[in-house]
Structure 1
Amino acid sequence: MATPAPARTPSKSEPPPPDGPLVAALGGFRLDPKRSYTAQVHDLLLQAIVRGTLPPRTALSEATISKLIDVSRTPVREALALLADEQMVLIYRQVGTIVAPVRMQLLEEGRFVRSTLECASHVQLVQTITPEQLAEFGQIVRRQRDAVDSGQVDQFSELDELMHRRLFEFAGRGHVWEMLEPIKRQFDRVRWLLLGHVAGHAERALGEHEQMLAQMASRDVAGLGASVLSHINHITGHLSALREQAPESYFSD
């Protein structure tokens, strides 16, 4: 489905929700005067969108955002323009801005790119990984187990991100992970939604991480390649369950 033209207006039968989600997502944030205000507003809104604290189709009022974080409207406007370029928000001229729904086409593109690059990188890494790197990998997975056992979904997701980034860095490809960041954002949004809506998703992901760790340790090249591919594809495999539980408006084909 094509991105809506900027001049299109939302349906009158679906009025924007109130500013409650913005207050919950941004309340209490304090700007760092030493950093770019535009960059900080962008990062704050991006994280809230990816983590679902600003759900799809939430109205984003420039005035409300400016008031909540005590900044002029200029950096807010600039941050929203950047997010629109990244297809994370939709801006309707003279009407307003909303959080973009998860676009299935972008999700599939992110899955394809991530599965291709992670499989290739990890299959090479398994042949060169050092005992120190294996130990760090194992420590991250153990911390994930603690997070799952204690029901700390946010911490598990952060550790998941750390684990995948470190595996690229172990292979000397930290810049590839940075390249992946904007491509996989729709993918990350679905991952957070799965953790919040689909029972057992974190436990299943953890089991796959533990399997990948064991295969790294045993230098099982073929097994690891299959596990990485399955691990990434499971995200989209759980979409049907997610779409049954999350509001229909969260997605766009």
Structure 2
Amino acid sequence: MNFNLPPQPASTRDAVYMQLKEQILKLELPPGTPLSENETSLLFKVSRTPVRESFLRLAGEGLVQVLPQRGTFVSLIDTVLVEEARFMREQLEKAVILLACSHFPEQSMQALLENLRQQQACVRDKDDKSMFELDEAFHRILFDGCSKSNTWSIMQQMNAHLNRSRMLRLVDDHNWEPLYEQHRQMAEAIKKQDSQTAQQLMTEHLSLNIADQALLKEKYPDYYK
């Protein structure tokens, strides 16, 4: 596992926080993993203060849990929070793809098509981490292209548990062709300004998480609350 901090961070605290968060979201630090201030400070080659502050910040986001007399752990995935985030995301994403069907800049469309080309490579190479990042990027391009970047940022604040569940789905099942195909069809519907098809595709796309949750919870019971 790579614990090197990114170059020229805004602050040591922010760098530690961002890397810990990335490792939690990408399941490099799986749910239930114990966290030690001392061990983490040694791995990052920093003092314990930025590590402690990062743990507190992550706890505030629900990614870390501090249990009295037991220690600090990566929090388990909360299915209630997963569903709430999915519900919010579905409403906002359906609204955004409707906007995209009425007006979507050519530059944004080209970004979508390039994203799809990269997704094809990930499907072929079974690169789960890159596939997750490209999945996120595909949806972010929709928000950016519709001038809703702030909405995307606010939505991300509720996505921590949902994103870990989505990452687990990618790691567990490498049949990503249906995921890619839904993205491709959404891009095609936007090009044709077919709002009805686009919204239907988005609903089906985000509803996959509902069925996935029961299967993942049964297969990875130690990861879920």
TM-score in terms of structure 1 length:
0.85
Q: CA RMSD in A?
A: 1.4
CA contact (8 A) 2:79 2:213 kept: no
Matches within 5 A, 1:72-91: 72-91=47-66
Q: Are 2:152 and 1:177 aligned?
A: yes
Paired residue for 1:233?
A: 207
Q: Percent identity?
A: 28
In the alignment, the residues of structure 2 paired with residue 33 and residue 238 of structure 1 have an alpha-carbon distance, to the nearest angstrom, of 39
In the alignment, the residues of structure 2 paired with residue 224 and residue 49 of structure 1 have an alpha-carbon distance, to the nearest angstrom, of 32
Quote how far apart the aligned CAs of 1:38 are: 1.3
Q: Are 2:108 and 1:127 aligned?
A: no
Paired residue for 2:224?
A: 251
The residue type paired with residue 53 of structure 1 is E
Ranges in structure 1 where 5+ consecutive residues have no aligned partner: 1-23
Quote how far apart the aligned CAs of 1:151 are: 1.6
Ranges in structure 2 where 5+ consecutive residues have no aligned partner: none
**Partner residue of 1:220 out of 176, 189, 194:** 194
Matches within 5 A, 1:70-219: 70-200=45-175, 202-219=176-193
CA contact (8 A) 1:198 1:242 kept: no
Quote how far apart the aligned CAs of 1:31 are: 5.6
Higher Rg of the two aligned structures: 1
Quote how far apart the aligned CAs of 1:220 are: 0.7
Greater Cα shift, 87-96 or 159-168: 87-96
1:11-65 Cα deviation digits (max 9, x unpaired): xxxxxxxxxxxxx3xx441364552111111111111111111011100010000
2:65 aligned counterpart, secondary structure: strand
The residue type paired with residue 188 of structure 1 is N
1:189-242 Cα deviation digits (max 9, x unpaired): 011100111242x22211110110111111111110111111111122212222
CA contact (8 A) 1:31 1:69 kept: no
In the alignment, the residues of structure 2 paired with residue 56 and residue 147 of structure 1 have an alpha-carbon distance, to the nearest angstrom, of 25
1:90 aligned counterpart, secondary structure: strand
In the alignment, the residues of structure 2 paired with residue 85 and residue 135 of structure 1 have an alpha-carbon distance, to the nearest angstrom, of 38
In the alignment, the residues of structure 2 paired with residue 114 and residue 151 of structure 1 have an alpha-carbon distance, to the nearest angstrom, of 26
1:83-103 Cα deviation digits (max 9, x unpaired): 111110101234310000000
Quote how far apart the aligned CAs of 1:132 are: 3.1
In the alignment, the residues of structure 2 paired with residue 31 and residue 129 of structure 1 have an alpha-carbon distance, to the nearest angstrom, of 34
Quote how far apart the aligned CAs of 1:150 are: 1.7
Q: Using a 3 Å threshold, how does the CA distance of structure 1 residues 54 and 210 change in structure 2: closer, same or farther? A: same
2:73 aligned counterpart, secondary structure: strand
CA contact (8 A) 1:197 1:245 kept: no
TM-score in terms of structure 2 length:
0.95
In the alignment, the residues of structure 1 paired with residue 16 and residue 106 of structure 2 have an alpha-carbon distance, to the nearest angstrom, of 40
1:183 aligned counterpart, secondary structure: coil
The residue type paired with residue 40 of structure 1 is A
In the alignment, the residues of structure 2 paired with residue 199 and residue 155 of structure 1 have an alpha-carbon distance, to the nearest angstrom, of 13
CA contact (8 A) 1:31 1:37 kept: no
